Amino acid sequence: MRVPGFEQYFRRLHVHNNTRNVWFQEYWQHKFGCALPGYDNRIIKYPRQCRPDRESLAKAPYNEDPKLSFVINSILAVVHGLDKMHKQICNGTSGLCTEMARMNRSLLMSFLKSSRFRGITG
């Protein structure tokens, strides 16, 4: 199953606009077989310098991993479980309350298991 909108999102990513992902520069170098200036290339030495002004994921071949939708569902399960836990334990306060800061794994697991949501796979 393809994730709606993901390809469009992915194709717009660029080393200039995706600085929050710490692995993206490494991915970019691998994808285009080049070295980014200022990036530590101890593991793989690429033969040429990257030219981000000429490289683009918009033109690169795209193959979506069939497991992507399950990864998204897993993240949604955790988000819904934490939200349910926060609403019950923190009594409507915003932010991380003291009771939730002392993370009880068993309690979190029960919230994860009791959460219900409609995931991307239906």
For residue 42, the model assigns a pLDDT of 66
Percent of the chain residues topping a pLDDT of 90: 38
Q: How far apart are CA 82 and CA 68, in angstroms?
A: 21
How far apart CA 20 and CA 46 sit, in angstroms, is 23
Three-state DSSP class for residue 101: helix
pLDDT at 1 over 90: no
Question: Which residue shows structure tokens 């796979």?
Answer: 121
Give yes or no for a contact between 77 and 115, defined as CB atoms under 8 angstroms apart: yes
Nearest Cα to Cα of residue 9 among 17, 85, 76, 74:
17
pLDDT in tens, 24-62: 998 999 999 999 887 766 667 788 899 988 999 998 898
